[in-house]
């Protein structure tokens, strides 16, 4: 089969490699019908994720068709159309039992690490992918949900909702600011309304992304380069700050943006993947009763979000901006890497 193979920082190739096979009785093999590219794939290609070794097939998002099943798999069948979660889940360990799939203790990849696809085992930017612990790690796609909607459930929708909205404890009437409105920030914007957010403020350097954010549910937007940006945000609250500030970029500056605008008693929910330490002004935060949360997505809300997508309650149709075939992988990476110019949100790659 063909797959996108990582060959060290800055190097990748769409090349021929052996087809994946069943290795454990709980595995399935999925023919990848649709995949996409995540900001994390770009981090890997920059060399920011040293756990990814040369030779690894990248990608952790897919919708596809089961082509082989292991002997222990009874609830799935060849031909089933499924979403592959970006997080493995053995379903048996103490973390899986409490919904913390991100730290699944199953041996695949590494015990205690849920994100394995395109990281510790071969991923989904390929014609086929082996999925461990399949009964707990894939989700059947209801008829009527197209691939380019279902693919948003592999990672970005659960990430924005779980680590942004739920960890941030958004509640009815809240003013929520989302700093960074890439696909993950937009997913948080899209799902903040589920918890009753009254105002949702999109904060991004990119004017196009601020404008897009309104289509996903933002009620206001602020350019963080404006001299009075903080006053603009505070003016959208009772003057005391936002109830919840969601960080969806992953750099120290944007964590600082959240610190600057959160109200006493408020929540900062960090979603961004950071590659460098962040200075924590704990001497100011403690006395303001600020709650800070962070985490790796569990995808334990995937089924619930899928129900909402199936009922067209979330505007996932706006997320896919560019379409390619799998063998246009290199072109798709180029388009996604130049998102500011190309206005790409999610690029979709489908089997031709």
260 lies in the binding site for ligand NAD (CB under 6 A): no
| Inter-residue contact 244 to 167 (CB < 8 Å) | no
Closest residue to ligand NAD, judged by C-beta, is 182
Q: Which does 96 bind (CB under 5 to 8 A by kind): Zn ion, ligand NAD, none?
A: Zn ion
Closer CB to ligand NAD, 4 or 29, in the complex: 4
Q: Which does 234 bind (CB under 5 to 8 A by kind): Zn ion, ligand NAD, none?
A: none
Which residues fall within 8 angstroms of residue 253, CB to CB, at 6 or more apart?
A: none
How would you classify the pairing of strands 2-6 and 138-140? unpaired
Quote the least distance from Cβ 334 to ligand NAD, whole Å: 15
Which residues fall within 8 angstroms of residue 294, CB to CB, at 6 or more apart?
A: 163, 167, 269, 270, 271
Positions 156 through 215 that interact with ligand NAD (CB under 6 A): 159, 163, 179-185, 203-206, 209
Which residues fall within 8 angstroms of residue 202, CB to CB, at 6 or more apart?
A: 178, 181, 185, 189, 209, 210, 213, 214, 218, 220, 221, 222
The DSSP call for residue 244 is: E
118 lies in the binding site for ligand NAD (CB under 6 A): no
- The stretches of 178-276 forming alpha helices (DSSP H) are 183-192, 207-215, 229-235, 252-261
Instruction: Identify the residue among 248, 262, 308, 349 touching ligand NAD (CB under 6 A).
Output: 248
Positions 71 through 100 that interact with Zn ion (CB under 5 A): 90, 93, 96
In degrees, rounded to 5, the angle at the alpha carbon of residue 196 between the alpha carbons of residues 153 and 206 is 60
Quote the least distance from Cβ 229 to ligand NAD, whole Å: 10
Quote the least distance from Cβ 108 to Zn ion, whole Å: 10
Binding site for ligand NAD (CB under 6 A): 38-40, 155, 159, 163, 179-185, 203-206, 209, 224, 248-250, 253-254, 271-273, 296-297
* Site residues, Zn ion (CB under 5 A): 90, 93, 96, 104, 106
């Amino acid at each position: 089969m063909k797959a996108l193979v990582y060959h060290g920082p800055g190097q990748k190739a769409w090349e021929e490699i052996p087809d994946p096979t069943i290795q454990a009785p709980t595995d399935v093999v999925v023919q990848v019908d649709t995949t996409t590219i995540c900001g994390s794939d770009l981090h890997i290609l920059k060399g920011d994720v040293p756990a990814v070794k040369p030779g690894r097939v990248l990608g952790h998002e897919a919708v596809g068709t089961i082509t082989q099943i292991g002997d222990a798999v009874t609830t799935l069948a060849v031909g089933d159309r499924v979403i592959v979660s970006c997080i493995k889940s053995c379903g048996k360990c103490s973390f899986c039992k409490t919904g913390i799939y991100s730290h699944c203790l199953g041996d695949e990849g590494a015990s205690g690490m849920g994100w394995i696809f395109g990281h510790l085992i071969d991923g989904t930017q390929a014609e086929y992918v082996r999925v461990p612990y399949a009964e707990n790690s894939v989700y059947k796609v209801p008829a009527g949900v197209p691939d380019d909607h279902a693919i948003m459930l592999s990672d970005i929708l659960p990430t924005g909702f779980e680590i942004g909205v739920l960890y941030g404890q958004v509640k009815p009437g809240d003013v929520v600011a989302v700093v960074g409105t890439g696909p993950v920030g937009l997913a948080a914007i899209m799902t903040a309304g589920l918890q009753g957010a009254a105002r949702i403020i999109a904060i991004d350097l990119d004017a196009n992304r601020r404008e897009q954010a309104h289509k996903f549910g933002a009620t206001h937007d602020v350019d963080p380069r404006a001299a009075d940006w903080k006053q603009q945000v505070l003016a959208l609250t009772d003057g005391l700050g936002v109830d919840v500030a969601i960080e969806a970029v992953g750099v120290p500056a944007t964590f600082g943006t959240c610190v600057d605008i959160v109200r006493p008693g408020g929540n900062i929910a960090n979603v961004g993947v950071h590659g460098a330490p962040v200075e924590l002004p704990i001497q100011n935060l403690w006395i303001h009763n600020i709650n800070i949360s962070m985490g790796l997505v569990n995808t334990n809300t995937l089924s619930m979000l899928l129900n909402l997508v199936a009922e067209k309650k979330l505007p996932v149709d706006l997320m896919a901006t560019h379409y390619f075939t799998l063998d246009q992988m290199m072109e798709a990476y180029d388009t996604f890497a130049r998102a500011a110019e190309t206005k790409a949100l999610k690029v979709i790659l489908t089997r031709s």
